[in-house]
Amino acid sequence: MDNEVNVMPRIGEKAPSFRAVTTQGPIEFPQDYKGKWIILFSHPADFTPVCTSEFITFGKMAKEFEDLNCQLVGLSIDGLFSHIAWLRTIKDKIDYKGMKNIEITFPLIDDVTMHVAKMYGMLQPGESETKAVRAVFFIDPEGIIRTILYYPMSLGRNFDEIKRILIGLQTVDNFEVALPADWRPGDEVIIPTASTVKAAQQRAESKDKKGFTYYDWFFCTQALSKEEVESKLGKKK
């Protein structure tokens, strides 16, 4: 049913649970990864050029995500044997931008039935009714969806942004702050907005404080060093 295809979990909700067969064996999702961040991402099909470029990049960056206490989980509406053959081809034959001999060690879900793709709203009929768009779900260690990205089938993902989002979400949690546009570790962060008249006045009186930038009572930032940010990344709360 079309309505079922278009259903999508939302930010702040529990990630829908499922069992699946993958290239790394059966999994219970997200229960098997409790205590870790998860990036669940879909791609349209095996043996396609855009997807191949993405998997090589994910494979090369896998250790970086692992160091951030993050599990990568891929999905395609193709079968297990197709997945295995494709990943072997990536390792044995593809040399892309100097990336070669890349072994994909994270699980790739067999979703021939489209059960998971429908559950996560990865099917977009305007693109295709039989292939998943490039969805990315960031799920926190408690199993809550924190960010969702959608790309069309023809556009490869920005991996710098995917990693930046993961670092940003961990920084938000670790320091109880918000992050401004284009934030990178080492940039100033936004402190919670003053919620009383007294607090707003105190902010105004602190505008000359070192490491504190006062734009107005509702918009104030403070310094947070790259070292402080990085000291807490990947740590279990």
The alpha helices in the chain, defined as continuous H runs, are 2-6, 49-67, 80-93, 115-119, 159-175, 197-205, 226-232
Main-chain phi, psi angles of 10, to 5 degrees: -115, 160
Active-site residue set: 51
**Complete DSSP assignment for 2-39:** HHHHH----TTSBPPPEEE-BBTB-EEETGGGTTSEEE
Amino acid at 195: S
116: which residues sit within 8 A by CB, 6+ positions away? Answer: 18, 20, 75, 109, 122
C-alpha distances in angstroms, 66 versus 6, 36, 144?
31, 9, 19
Main-chain phi, psi angles of 63, to 5 degrees: -65, -35
CB neighbourhood size of 115 (10 A): 14
End-to-end Cα distance, the chain: 41
